[in-house]
Structures are given as C-alpha cells and as structure tokens.
Amino acid sequence: MSSAWKVAYADFVTAMMAFFLLLWILNMVPPETKAGLAAYFSGERNFDSSSTSHVSNNPFIQNTDKINTQDSITINETQKSHIAIAKKLKEMIMADAVPQNASGINADDVGVQLRINSDAMFKPGSAEFSTEGLKVLTSVKQILDEYNLYLVVRGHADSMETRPPYSSPWELSGARAANAIAHLTNMGIKGTRLRGVCYGDTRPLRPGMDDASRAMNRRVEFYFHRPEVMSYSVVY
C-alpha cells in the first residue's frame, strides 16, 4: 500500500501549525507595530512630512502621542527610545528647524531616520552648509546629547548636480556626509559615535525624470541607532 498520503498529510499538518503560529503572533503584536508593518508593505516606506499637514504621515510617528511610554507590557525599551526620538524629530519639523516640505521621518527595528533634502542643507552643487543646514545639525547634536545613540550620516546626490571641484556624485555626496560629521565633532560629539557613508546617485527615492524628483533624490539622511548594532550592515 502506498504511503504517499503520509507525506501529504505531514505537509498539511505543518502548514496548519504555521498558520496558527502566524495567527498567534499577529494577536500578540501591538496595534502600533501592525500599522507600521502595513505601511511598510504598502510601499510607504519613505514617510515625508507635509507642508500642509505639518506632521509626518508615518503611522509610527502619528501614534507617538497616543502611546504610553511607561507601559512595559505592550512596548519594550527600544520602542520607547524610538518613540521619544521620533517625537523630538517631529518637534524639530513643526518648529521649522527643518523645512517641512523637505524632510521625512521613518523608523525600523534598529533606529530612527531623519531625511533632509540637500537643497535645504547645502548651497547648490556644494558641501557648504546653508543657515538651515546649520540649524539641522544643531538639532541633531541635541538628540545625540540627550540619548545614548550612534549616528550614521548617509549622503546622496543627483547625477546632474555635480560641479567643480566635485567631478562625480560620489565625491559630492561624500563631501556632504563628511562635512556633517566634522561639524558634529567640532560641536563636541565623539567621533566614535559617528559614521559617514556616501551613495552618490545609486539610491534614488524617485526616478530622476524631472527637477522635482531630482530634488527629492538630493538628500542627507541622519540615522540614529543603538550602539550595539554598529556592526550591522543594516545601518549602512
């Protein structure tokens, strides 16, 4: 008598176990986390702030004011830290320390990221800070002073933006990230807490088909994360 049915039955039982395990996990996940996951898989990973709404449309950020950070049952210490940082960043945007139409906030399991369009931080085609850019770095320093965090500064450039003395997007984006880190160290932040990386024009947010999309691609990202994950490739 064939025993093929046993293999099929074992596969069925395994599938049912996996299904019920998934249901159990979903039941244990807090609503705020579900909202963030839903936004992630719906393609809303980059959550831009709006000049009309004055707040980020990231569900994680929207829920920061509704979460009791003292509730140790539904939220762990890492999540508390991320929520507190997100609140600070949102306050920066609402206080106009960061131009609201040129910024975005998003978070993941490791840290919280603030994105600033390069046009709001640097003079066109250069790595020289604008007045707004210096305000951004002052706010970034305040967060690093308040929390035991490390920071990765990610520089991005548009392929059509380069001009002498920078001959490529790599050089321009690298100079911007390096200058941001140098300014933070000059303000007293230890260099061991900082990292810089340049991506040139290799990670665009939008297809660079027009001026508006290219402006979105010119950006600097400040990624605040816990010290113990410094070696993770995800922070870069």
**What DSSP designation does 42 have?**
T
pLDDT for residue 69 is more than 70:
no
b vs e for 63-99, b when ≥16 Cβ sit within 10 Å of the residue's Cβ? Answer: bbeebeeeeeeebeeebbbbbbbbebbbebbeeebbb
Q: How far apart are CA 138 and CA 149, in angstroms?
A: 16
Per-residue confidence (pLDDT) for residue 58, from 0 to 100: 40
Residue 31, domain member (yes or no) = no
Query: CATH no. for residue 188?
Result: 3.30.1330.60
Q: Are 32 and 82 in contact (CB under 8 A)?
A: no
CA atoms within 13 A on the CB side of 100: 15
Assigned domain for 36 exists: no
pLDDT digits (tens, 9 = 90+) for 165-217: 888 889 999 999 999 999 999 999 999 999 999 999 888 887 777 787 788 88
Q: Is the pLDDT of residue 135 over 80?
A: yes
Residue 16 belongs to some domain of the structure: no
CA–CA distance, 190 with 186 (Å, rounded to integer): 9
Claim: this prediction has a pTM higher than 0.85: no
How do residues 17-57 score in pLDDT, each as one tens digit?
Answer: 888 887 877 777 665 555 555 654 554 444 333 333 333 33
Predicted local distance difference test score (pLDDT) of residue 185: 96
The answer as to whether 181 is a domain residue is yes
d(CA 22, CA 28): 10
Question: Is residue 136 within 8 Å of residue 98, measured between CB atoms?
Answer: yes
Structural domain including 186 reads 44-235
Name, in order, each residue with C-beta under 8 angstroms of 15's C-beta and a sequence gap of 6 or more: none
pLDDT of residue 43: 46
Return the H-helix or E-strand segment holding 139.
helix 131-146
β pairing state of 150-156 and 194-198: parallel
Q: Give the number of domains in the chain.
A: 1
| Residue at 19 is within a domain | no
Question: Which residues lie across from 107 on neighbouring strands?
Answer: 112
| Cα distance between residue 181 and residue 185, in whole Å | 6
* Most confident among 80-89, 154-163, 189-198 (mean pLDDT): 189-198
Task: Give the residues across from 221 on adjacent strands.
Answer: 115, 154
- The H or E element spanning position 112 is strand 111-117
Determine, yes or no, domain membership for 209. yes
